[in-house]
Amino acid sequence: MSEIGLFPLGLVLLPGERTPLHIFEPRYRELIAECLQRGTEFGIVLADDSGMRTTGTKAAILEVLERFDDGRSNVVVEGRERFQVIRLTEGRSFLTAETEALIDDGGPPDGEVLETCLAAYRRLIAAAGESFPELEPGAPTVSFDIAAIITFPVSTKQDLLESTSENERLVRIGGFLAQAAEAVTAGRVARERAGGNGKVDHF
């Protein structure tokens, strides 16, 4: 087990995901300053009306974008390994906890499940007319790579973070992407049909 500083936030950081943070509370300014000085990571955990979760992600500070005279700063962090809080500890101005790594139980994902999810991802990209990164099918956690690109509800991201099965995550994400692709396609068709006479015909 290892002890790390915790940063409870209203967001979920997935492994490999990057996000900007605005650091303004004195206790978290202290945490970030310490991590920068020592080159260490801190833990981001979801905290909302239901309380603080016990599964989070270690975050590495990639860049300090801006420092303000009053001590505030803007930084960019990247998600690293997942962890489980074993016990909260005391003695610092910020939250700290003993943690252990959260590791998937199963082996590599089922090939058919993986391809179904990747196909849904490509359909959504095509339907949206966007340019998203190509994914590496051989990556150990494609599910997190996709969830870091596509916008998911916070509760869904937390469920994905807590899951210890890549297959389970891919099945859930694949279903979401397939539905999203259908919705985007239907919306585009409706707009095209409405462009003719100002009305949308029945499908």
> CATH no. for residue 45?
2.30.130.40
> Residue with structure tokens 């409870």?
8
Average of per-residue pLDDT values in the chain: 89
- The answer as to whether 129 is a domain residue is yes
Range of the domain at 7: 2-101
DSSP state of 138: T
- The answer as to whether 106 is a domain residue is no
Which candidate, 9, 8, 162, places its Cα nearest to that of 82?
162
**Domain count of the chain?**
2
Structure confidence at residue 174 (pLDDT): 95
Spell out the per-residue pLDDT of the chain, length 203, in tens: 789 999 999 999 999 999 999 999 999 999 999 999 999 999 999 999 999 999 999 999 999 999 999 889 999 999 999 999 999 999 999 999 999 999 999 778 899 999 999 999 999 988 888 777 788 767 778 999 999 998 899 999 999 999 999 999 999 999 999 999 888 876 654 455 445 444 333 32
Could you report the per-residue pLDDT of 168-186, keeping only the tens digit for each? 999 999 999 999 988 887 6
Which candidate, 161, 159, 164, 167, places its Cα nearest to that of 114?
167
Q: Read off the tokens for 46.
A: 């979801």
Could you report the per-residue pLDDT of 40-58, keeping only the tens digit for each? 999 999 999 999 999 999 9
Q: Please indicate, yes or no, whether residues 154 and 83 belong to a single structural domain of this protein.
A: no
Which of residues 53, 69, 101 is at a domain's end? 101
Which of residues 47, 80, 101 is at a domain's end? 101
Q: 79 near 14, Cβ under 8 Å?
A: yes
- For the entire predicted model, the pTM comes to 0.86
Q: Please indicate, yes or no, whether residues 147 and 184 belong to a single structural domain of this protein.
A: yes
Which of residues 57, 79, 101 is at a domain's end? 101
Q: Please indicate, yes or no, whether residues 116 and 96 belong to a single structural domain of this protein.
A: no
Q: Please indicate, yes or no, whether residues 9 and 65 belong to a single structural domain of this protein.
A: yes
Counting Cα atoms < 13 Å in the Cβ hemisphere of 147 gives: 29
Q: Please indicate, yes or no, whether residues 146 and 190 belong to a single structural domain of this protein.
A: yes
